Amino acid sequence: MALTFRHFAPLIALASVTVATTPVFAALPIGASAPPVITQAVIAGKPFEFRLQDALKKGPVVLYFFPAAFTSGCTIEAHDFSDATAQFAAAGATVIGLAHDPIDKLGKFSVTECRNKFAVGVASTAIIDAYRVKMPLFSMSDRTSFVIAPDGKIILAYSALSPNGHVTRTLDAVRAWRKAHPAR
């Protein structure tokens, strides 16, 4: 007996429903302590060592994970964050994107796609695992944005494959935090 598509159609349909209804992301929840991040980063093509603890001394940090530099969704997201950099700065927030890419690739991405406005850094496997943002079956991260308050607590965790909504949600969270904690 030859097997045809109609033999497999019910199984394919069931698998599609299962995949569509199974949560893909299990990022760290709101209220969790943000794991430490010390990594190579670059802004405007200039390398430096990024330390989350140091950035938190200045105010909230938007730490966003993206799958890979120079892919269409990640480029859109970088442009969106670039366009909103002044708004984040006005609210006292630092923005950094992290991807499991080599630093030289991120250096080019920081200039062309981040438009020299915010830092991007290397998301090591350990950082990806600590934040629970590993894309299933790959070594790269999924697309998850965190807002971390200066006390190190996560006040927003938003995961979505689409780059749409990441900037709006993180900026809203930063502004809400700032409203509750006015600058002195």
Q: Which pTM does this prediction carry?
A: 0.86
% of the chain at pLDDT higher than 90:
82
Q: How many Å apart are CA 96 and CA 86, to the nearest integer?
A: 14
Q: Which residue has the higher pLDDT, 11 or 121?
A: 121
Question: How many structural domains are present in the chain?
Answer: 1
Considering 43, 52, 74, 119, which one is annotated as catalytic? 74
| 13 is a domain residue | no
CATH number of domain containing 123: 3.40.30.10
25 Cβ neighbours under 8 A, 6+ residues apart: 133, 142, 144, 159
Binned at pLDDT 50, 70 and 90, residue 14 comes out as very low
**Contact predicate 69/100, CB 8 Å:** no
| 59 is a domain residue | yes
| 5 is a domain residue | no
Domain extent for 57? 37-180
| 143 is a domain residue | yes
DSSP 3: -
Q: How many Å apart are CA 178 and CA 92, to the nearest integer?
A: 8
pLDDT at 183: 79
| 18 is a domain residue | no
pLDDT at 16 over 50: no
| 12 is a domain residue | no
Backbone φ and ψ of 25, nearest 5°: -105, 145
Chain-centre distance for alpha carbon 9: 36
Binned at pLDDT 50, 70 and 90, residue 5 comes out as very low
- Among 114, 135, 111, 112, CA closest to 125: 135
pLDDT at 63 over 70: yes
| 95 is a domain residue | yes
Q: 96-106 in b/e burial notation, b at 16+ Cβ within 10 A?
A: bbbbbbeeebb
Average pLDDT for the chain = 89
Rg (CA), the chain: 18
| 17 is a domain residue | no
pLDDT at 30: 96
Q: Is 114 a catalytic residue?
A: no
Tens of pLDDT, residue by residue over 107-124, are 999 999 999 999 999 999
Binned at pLDDT 50, 70 and 90, residue 3 comes out as low
